[in-house]
Amino acid sequence: MQVFKFGGASVKDGEGVKNLACVLQSIGHKNTLIVVSAMGKTTNALELVISNYFNNKAELQSSLQEVIKYHNDILFDLFEIESHPVFKKVKSFFDELNNFFKINKSPNYNFVYDQVVGYGELVSTTIISEYLNAVRIKNDWVDAREFIKTDNYHRRANVNWEETQTIIATKLNTCVLNITQGFLGSDANNFTTTLGREGSDYTAAIFAYCLNAESVTIWKDVPGVLNADPRYFENAQLLSQISYREAIELAFYGASVIHPKTLQPLQRKEIPLHVKSFLNPKQYGTTVSKGVLLEPKIPCFIVKKNQVLISLSSLDFSYIVENNISEIFSLLHSYKMKVDVIQNSAISFSVCIDNIYNNLEKLLQQLRAKFSVTCHENVSLYTIRHYNQTVLNQLEQDKTVLLKQLTQETVQIVTK
């Protein structure tokens, strides 16, 4: 059994879907499960729909119609006649979504988010499954929500591994090519949950772990894992082989090619991960596997934009000690802040966070009751693995450095 994952960029239009079929025909698809993301920027478009539902009802239908039109254009590119069953299947999903907006009573943004945004994956996989069947690549469409069971921590759900493994092992027909959705699961009440933004890689790893797969291949619009994001850094280099440990480090610090949670289940069963280009499927790409060292140890650059740096000090210049730090982290947890950097001294404590849930003002209000607080929004966090002084000097040039933290292998710099 092998698991493939195709991201949104790979299926952003009709040509992308046709190319996916060509990739399968080129490299084979026997004993394969395919995980697919929403098409193109559909998740972003559905986030706008959700925002309009809460804040601008007058624009709700027009923003939803944009999503529908986008997918209909792809349908007309792939299927010759409108009487093909796929049109009715896709319409039923959007009708279902529209109905949700009419009957929903929950004011919880995160709950609504999960119920709505997953339609991107449900529609994309339906279109792809039907197209593959049309070109004689026989497959079964699988609803990931019936197989991946989670808690109800909406937008970043935690997998119930025991239940998920039992369901996948007993209910998934592995004798056929299966097409399923990334990013999605369901809780004990069968409400849709999501595994975190860009969580389709994680879905692939979950299925691979539960199926004891031989490998996972993530198909991207880049040649593999690069030492830097080419959108922000020039002359990015391909890392052809790296260890699980190194890949986990890079993912933890925010490398966008691999989802942070993806590698842990694969490492536990020593399942190799390949990252390859869907534009050049025969090229080697990157392999992440056991015992491979990053050779040579070239600097690897990661940047996270739109972060928040909060610096705290005690109001009476007393030490920041364990009970203070425990209280700070309790608040960070309560307001669902993802912590990326921590730095403390005797009388100060700084933390760089990702304000995913837009709870910053509530958090600051709590912190200001007990600490002197300085907050810098819209900062950038740069991480360099295997840094040297030359690349450090280049990175800091023409930037205002707000925080710097160095270890033997890694430096993190927060800049304005």
Query: What pLDDT shows up at residue 2?
Result: 97
> Residue 221: which pLDDT band, with cuts at 50, 70 and 90?
confident
Q: Which helix (H) or strand (E) holds 256?
A: none
* Residue whose pair of structure tokens reads 């026997």 in the numeric block: 30
Residues 16, 156: one domain? yes
Residue 94 lies in a domain: yes
127, 12: one domain = yes
Q: For residue 183, what are the contacts with CB-CB under 8 A and spacing of at least 6? A: 37, 38, 118, 121, 194, 195, 199, 200, 203
Residue 155 domain-assigned?
A: yes
Question: With bands split at pLDDT 50, 70 and 90, how would you rate the model's confidence at 293?
Answer: low
- 297 — pLDDT class (breaks 50, 70, 90): confident
Residue 317 has pLDDT above 90, yes or no: no
In a domain, 285, yes or no: no
Model confidence at 356, in pLDDT bands (50, 70, 90)?
Answer: confident
Instruction: For residue 333, give its domain range.
Output: 300-415
On the question of pLDDT at 126 being above 70, the answer is yes
Average pLDDT over residues 39-62: 98
DSSP string, 293-344: --SS---EEEEEEEEEEEEEEETTS----HHHHHHHHHHHHHTTPEEEEEEE
Band of pLDDT at residue 296, cut at 50, 70 and 90? low
* Mean pLDDT, all residues of the chain: 95
192-194 and 184-186 beta bridge pairing? antiparallel
pLDDT-based confidence at 344, cuts 50/70/90? very high
Pairwise CA distance, residues 4 & 177, whole Å: 11
Query: 159 versus 197: which is more confidently predicted?
Result: 159
Query: Is residue 64, in this structure, part of any structural domain at all?
Result: yes
Residue 257 binned pLDDT confidence (cut-offs 50, 70, 90): confident
- Per the CB < 8 A criterion, the answer to whether 308 and 250 are in contact is no
Domain's final residue, options 213, 243, 272: 213
CA 38 from centre of chain? 12
Q: What's the rounded Cα separation, in Å, for the pair 47 and 323?
A: 38
CATH assignment at residue 171: 3.40.1160.10
Assign residue 361 the CATH number of its domain.
3.30.2130.10
57 phi, psi to nearest 5 deg = -55, -30
Asked if 145 and 160 touch (Cβ cutoff 8 Å), the reply is no
pLDDT of 153 higher than 70: yes
* pLDDT on residue 198: 73
Phi/psi of residue 266, nearest 5 degrees: -70, -40
Task: For residue 318, count CB atoms less than 10 angstroms from its CB and return exposed for 0-12, middle for 13-18, buried for 19 or more.
Answer: exposed
Tell whether 208 and 322 lie within a shared domain: no
Q: Is 231 annotated as a binding residue?
A: yes
Domain assignment present for residue 43? The answer is yes
pLDDT of the residue at 137? 98
Residue 310 and residue 321: Cα distance in Å, rounded? Answer: 17
Burial (CB < 10 A; 0-12, 13-18, 19+), residue 151, is middle
Pairing of strands 286-289, 177-181: unpaired
- Domain's final residue, options 213, 246, 266: 213
The pTM of the full predicted model, rounded to 2 decimals, is 0.86
Whether residue 348 sits in one domain with residue 209: no
Specify the amino acid at residue 30. Answer: K
In a domain, 41, yes or no: yes
Edge-to-edge strand order for the sheet containing 32-36?
139-141, 177-181, 32-36, 2-6, 215-220, 273-277, 286-289, 241-243
Residues 66 and 189 reside in one and the same domain: yes
Task: Give percent of the chain above pLDDT 70.
Answer: 99
- Note whether residue 225 is domain-resident: no
Number of domains present in the structure of the chain: 2
Question: pLDDT (tens digit, 9 = 90+) per residue, 380-409?
Answer: 999 999 999 999 999 999 999 999 999 999
In terms of domains, do 183 and 305 share one?
A: no
Which percentage of the chain shows pLDDT scores above 90? 89
H/E stretch holding 224 reads none
Is the domain of 97 the same as that of 194?
A: yes
Claim to verify: residue 208 and residue 345 sit in the same structural domain: no
Does residue 147 have a pLDDT over 60? yes
Residue 295 has pLDDT above 80, yes or no: no
Statement to judge: residues 86 and 200 lie in one domain: yes
Q: Clarify whether residues 195 and 334 are in a common domain.
A: no
Confidence of residue 292 (pLDDT cuts 50, 70, 90): low
Q: What does the alpha-carbon distance between residue 313 and residue 319 come to, in Å, rounded to a whole number?
A: 9
Q: Is residue 396 part of a domain?
A: yes
Summarize pLDDT for 159-170 with one digit per residue, the tens. 999 999 999 999
Residue 378 β-bridge partners: none
Domain end point (choices 213, 247, 281): 213
Distance CA 118, CA 120 (A): 5
Average pLDDT score over residue span 86-104: 98
Across 249-264, average pLDDT:
83
